[in-house]
Every structure is written in C-alpha cells, then in structure tokens.
C-alpha cells in the first residue's frame, strides 16, 4: 500500500496490499508513528540529500523530496538520498516509479524490523532488508525488480501461517535450529533466513549499512517494539540513488536495456492492467482481518 493508491494490491502483491491495512491502523493507533510528521530536507552537498522523516512514514517524506531529487539529478547527473527516522511498511517499487517514469535509473534499499535470523544467532538480527532497482526500457513500461534479501517476506510468512500453508524447507529454522516447513514454528522461533546463504547475508548487511549506518537511522537489531506493542512498522532508514542514464553520450540507454530479455515487472503490470478493468478482489481471508 502506498498512500491512497493501493498500488501494491493493484499490482498483485497481496502481502503488501489490503492485508497490511489493519497493521497500518494498529501501528498508527499505537502512537509509535507520527502521522502528522513534517519531513525535513537538507541538501548537504550538491548530490547528497539528507531527509529526516521525523518518525513518520517514508512515503510522504520521499514524495516531498521528489522535486529536489529531480533538480539534483538535472544539476549533478545523480542524486543520493539518505532518509532516516522513517517507517516503511510497503514494497519498494512504488518509491522508484517517479524516477523510472522520468527515464532515470534508481536503486533503493530499506532496513526493517528484526524479523530475519541467521544460523547460530540467538535472536533476529536483520530486517527483510529489501533491494529495489528500476530502469526505463524503450517501447515498454519501466522494469523494477524488488526483492527481500530474506528467503521470504515477513508478510508472506504470516499469510502462509494464517492460511495453514507449508513453506519450502530452507525458508528458515524451527525448534533447536532444525529445518521445518511450518511457518508458525518458524515465526515462534525467529523469522526467515537471508536468501542464498552467506551471499544473501552479505547483501542484507550491505542494506543495513546503507539504510541505517549511512543515513543515521536505527539498525534492525536496535528496533524495540516494547513501548508500542501494537506497532508493526520499524523506524529505520532508507537509501536511494538516482542516476540519469542519458548524461554524457549514452542517450541510447533505454534501447540498450531492452536487449535484456528478462522482465521482472511483467507480472505486476499484468495485475495493474487487470485491476484497472475489474477492481481489487478481496478474499474472505482478507475480509476477516477487518472483522
């Protein structure tokens, strides 16, 4: 969900759509999130923007920063954005569309609440720490890939648990560090593992450094929900890089990128087109969350 557009649900990402509304509502009611926060922009150097979300959601802070970011890209060729003290409870691709729609290349990473464990750890140490990357494509809508650096998003793990479904062995560990396919057992003992073994763990660390250490936001493992038990969204940070691919003699970028024949956004665009025609289907399971 992003603002009032429900773009994640429309794009077929049910784990980040209507399913999240009760969590957003509970988080706002908990007092952990400042819904009226006024984000503060500070362009500390020509190509480096610091944004303090002041404890609000990341999306309105980024929306306020978009004109400045576009100015920065026009002036310096790139913009690096360090957003801190922000809550993020959504997928990342909507954050990149204002840039990919304008023909720019964009990369963003967000650190999350402590929902991801690593082998041998006694507690969760990372967030699902997603990475999103988007780029324009000649003759087609922009491509945006968006992936948690965990085997599974926390939302999907919770949906599987709610619906009594199994998850693939390797998703994470259960009792005594043993393999299990039971999402409830995984959630009772920690969370998902990083995807792809030690390499995914290294990328999750990269996300923590970019989105928390560099921005001055909190690390995943520093998040403490004790003061606001109903809050579901961590106050961490986000890193964003925007680059103008047309600067300096590579005006054919979008045509060249079209040489890549794998399009991770195809499924989302199919859902978006279908939702424009038929609206958003809401299952009984989702309806029950609002009861």
Q: Which residues bind a second copy (CB under 8 A)?
A: 42, 44-48, 50, 75-78, 80, 82, 105, 107, 131, 133, 135, 145, 147, 149, 195-197, 199-203, 205-206, 208-210, 212-216, 219, 222, 241, 243-245, 247-250, 252-253, 256-257, 259-260, 262, 264
Helices 58-76 and 93-100 sit at what angle, rounded to 10 degrees?
30
| Shortest spacing between CB 290 and a second copy, in angstroms | 32
Rg (CA), the chain: 19
Q: Which is nearer to a second copy, 17 or 245 (CB)?
A: 245
Please list the active-site residues.
15-16, 156
Q: What are phi and psi of 82, to 5 degrees?
A: -115, 105
| Shortest spacing between CB 236 and a second copy, in angstroms | 13
134: left (phi over 0), alpha (psi -120 to 50) or beta: beta
| Shortest spacing between CB 14 and a second copy, in angstroms | 18
Q: Which is nearer to a second copy, 44 or 291 (CB)?
A: 44
Strands 78-87 and 131-137, how do they pair?
unpaired
Q: What are phi and psi of 172, to 5 degrees?
A: -170, -170
Strands 235-243 and 105-110, how do they pair?
antiparallel
Q: Which is nearer to a second copy, 129 or 232 (CB)?
A: 129
| Shortest spacing between CB 281 and a second copy, in angstroms | 25
Q: Which is nearer to a second copy, 80 or 238 (CB)?
A: 80
204 with 129: CB under 8 angstroms?
yes
């Amino acid at each position: 969900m992003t603002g009032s557009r429900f773009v994640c649900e429309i794009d077929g990402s049910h784990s980040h759509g209507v399913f999240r509304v009760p969590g957003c509502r509970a988080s706002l009611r908990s007092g952990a999130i400042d819904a009226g926060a006024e984000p503060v922009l500070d362009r500390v150097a020509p190509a480096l923007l610091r944004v303090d979300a002041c404890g609000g959601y990341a999306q309105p802070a980024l929306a306020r920063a978009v004109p400045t970011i576009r100015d920065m890209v026009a002036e310096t060729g790139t913009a690096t954005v360090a957003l801190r003290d922000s809550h993020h409870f959504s997928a990342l691709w909507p954050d990149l569309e204002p840039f990919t729609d304008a023909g720019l290349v964009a990369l963003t990473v967000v650190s999350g609440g402590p929902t991801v464990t690593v082998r041998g750890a006694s507690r969760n140490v990372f967030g699902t720490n997603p990475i999103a990357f988007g780029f324009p494509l000649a003759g087609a809508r922009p491509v945006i890939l968006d992936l948690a650096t965990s085997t599974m998003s926390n939302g999907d793990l919770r949906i599987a648990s709610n619906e009594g479904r199994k998850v693939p062995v390797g998703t994470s560990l259960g009792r005594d560090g043993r393999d299990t396919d039971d999402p409830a057992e995984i959630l009772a003992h920690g969370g998902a593992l990083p995807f792809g073994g030690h390499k995914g763990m290294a990328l999750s660390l990269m996300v923590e450094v970019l989105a928390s250490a560099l921005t001055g936001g909190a690390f995943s493992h520093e998040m403490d929900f004790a003061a606001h038990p109903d809050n579901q969204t961590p106050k961490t940070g986000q890193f964003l890089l925007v680059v103008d691919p047309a600067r300096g003699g590579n005006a054919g970028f979008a045509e060249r990128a079209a040489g890549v024949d794998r399009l991770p956004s195809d499924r989302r665009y199919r859902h978006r087109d279908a939702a424009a025609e038929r609206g958003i289907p809401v299952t009984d399971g989702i309806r029950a969350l609002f009861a």
